[in-house]
Amino acid sequence: PQPNPQVGAAVKAADRAHVFHSWSAQELIDPPAIAGAEGAYFWDYDGNRYLDFTSGLVYTNIGYQHPKVVAAIQEQAATMTTFAPAFAVEARSEAARLIAERTPGDLDKIFFTNAGADAVEHATRMARLHTGRPKVLSAYRSYHGGTHQAINLTGDPRRWASDTGAAGVVRFWAPFLYRSRFYAETEQQECERALQHLEDTIVFEGPQTVAAIILETVPGTAGIMVPPPGYLAGVRALCDKYGIVFILDEVMAGFGRTGEWFAADLFDVTPDLLTFAKGVNSGYVPLGGVAISRKIAETFAERPYPGGLTYSGHPLACAAAVATINVMAEEGVVEHAANLGACVIEPGLRELAERHPSVGEVRGVGMFWALELVRNRETREPLVPYNATGDANAPMAAFGAAAKKNGLWPFINMNRTHVVPACTITETEAKEGLAALDAALSAADEHTV
């Protein structure tokens, strides 16, 4: 693509004049103007091209502009752009069928939403109505979305400003051995103690008051902490013991990200409700949803479910989901994510960790990896303090600038960088990204002690 700085400047000027951006102090940001994107890359109007190690916000699992999905959206737009949710339409029926065929166990009914946060809102509402109980338990290191209930369930600092008396939300610590809350030294200890802590929380809250436990199967934005073997099965057993609904939030982890259709498959667990969005259609058109177990679906067999959305199961979004899931199946995208993750990304990151003192831990699975950056490997002091801004965040800013200088757009959250490219990335592209990461980590190393 030809650079066109003049158009870029106009796009930026209109943005600065009129667009109010998420999670930002409006006068302190400088959003880059983007001219186009394809596969694992995007480019600006000034001739800079970047390998996207963020997949947008971890959602373009099949990369940008997949021609088959673009064509399916065009075709759907030409035949039936939209139709109200109370009717049966082909794209919606087919999307629900393809999703239900892939979700674990008996999660066979699909309630469609517009995105992830409203999927979480509806899953928790279903759990409360199903049990008649008021509380939902969620983990401190988590992100569940930006709407009222979802942000209150969230553990990360984005919650703080909106924490206006989260009625019925109780938080607990999920396992994370590298920064154990349980003084554990092995994964097994971490698992056992985290389960004991969760059971204590349930007992002291009063099991008869707890409607649901919600967990990201593999927590994403909070740090990609793959749970130790046995943890999710243990949570399942606690939910069964106390009659609690088990919700797995797979908005980020689902649809190939972990090298399985759903991360729950890695652990052989079946929740009662599973939320999804993002990868369901790689975000080409907004779509999310809740996959519902037979037991919970039965609650609403003779009694109306009191909730809905104008665009529930929007045909354009559902047609994009049908095409995306078919592309993923035909092209073996899920298997590719597992293989490339295990054979290229993981060994590449471990090799970087050996050479760069700023890397405290490498963890992840599939196309879902985190590097925990530290000032000191012995003390594990994070490279920047928790939720740092301004000067305190300078080491991570230096890391990010060095990555971009080398043509890599990195995912950065606090003291971590996540390696979450499109699940369709090639080996050559992955190696190009790892080389850029190598250079950027040298900038981080300068801040180690």
Query: How far is residue 35's CA from residue 41's CA, in Å, rounded to a whole number?
Result: 11
141-200 binders of ligand PLP (CB under 6 A) = 143-145
Among 338, 336, 339, 333, residue whose Cα is nearest residue 62: 333
Give the integer Cα–Cα distance in Å for 234 and 190: 12
Ramachandran sector of residue 121 (left: φ over 0; alpha: ψ -120 to 50; beta: rest): alpha
Q: Which of 221, 270, 281, 417 binds ligand PLP (CB under 6 A)?
A: 221
Restricted to residues 269-288, the positions that interact with ligand PLP (CB under 6 A) are: 277, 288
Is 142 or 293 the residue whose CB approaches ligand PLP more closely? 142
> Does residue 252 touch ligand PLP according to CB under 6 A?
yes
Instruction: Report the b/e string of 70-95 with b at 16+ CB within 10 A.
Output: eebbeebeeeeeebebeeebebbebb
How big is the CA angle at 187 (ends 181 and 190), to the nearest 5 degrees? 30
408 is a contact residue toward ligand PLP (CB under 6 A): no
- Listed residue (414, 392, 396, 416) closest to 404, CA to CA: 396
Smallest separation (angstroms) from ligand PLP to the CB of 230: 22
Give the residue nearest to ligand PLP (CB).
Answer: 116
Of the residues 8, 104, 168, 220, which one makes contact with ligand PLP according to CB under 6 A? 220
Residue 5: C-alpha distances to residues 10, 12, 32, 231 (Å): 9, 10, 12, 52
Q: Which is nearer to ligand PLP, 194 or 274 (CB)?
A: 274
Does residue 115 belong to the site contacting ligand PLP (CB under 6 A)?
A: yes
With CB under 6 A as the contact rule, which of the stretches 244-252, 363-371, 374-382, 428-436 interacts with ligand PLP? 244-252
- Residues in 37-76 at the binding interface with ligand PLP, rule: CB under 6 A: 57
Task: Please name the amino acid found at residue 11.
Answer: V
Considering the rule CB under 6 A, would residue 251 count as an interface residue with ligand PLP?
Answer: yes
Alpha helices in 167-314 (DSSP H): 187-205, 231-242, 264-267, 294-299
Q: In the complex with ligand PLP, which residue's Cβ is closer, 288 or 341? A: 288
- 222 vs 353, which CB is nearer to ligand PLP? 222
Number of residues lying near ligand PLP (CB under 6 A): 16
Which residue carries 């992955």 as its tokens?
430
* Candidate list 39, 63, 116, 279; residue touching ligand PLP; CB under 6 A: 116
Find the part of the chain contacting ligand PLP (CB under 6 A) among 66-74, 162-170, 214-222, 409-417: 214-222
CB of 150 to ligand PLP, least distance (A): 6
From residue 283 to residue 322, what is the string marking binding to ligand PLP with x (rule CB under 6 A)?
-----x----------------------------------
Among 25, 68, 49, 35, smallest CA distance to 333 is for 68
Minimum gap (Å) between residue 253 Cβ and ligand PLP: 7
Instruction: Report CA 386 to chain centroid distance, whole Å.
Output: 20
Task: Name the token pair of 162.
Answer: 């909106």
Q: Is the distance from CB of 411 to CB of 53 less than 8 angstroms?
A: yes
To the nearest whole angstrom, how small is the minimum distance from the Cβ of residue 347 to ligand PLP?
Answer: 27
Stretch near ligand PLP under the rule CB under 6 A, chosen from 2-10, 89-97, 137-145, 374-382: 137-145
- How many CB atoms neighbour CB 26 within 10 A? 9
List contacts with ligand PLP (CB under 6 A). Answer: 57, 115-117, 120, 143-145, 216, 220-221, 249, 251-252, 277, 288
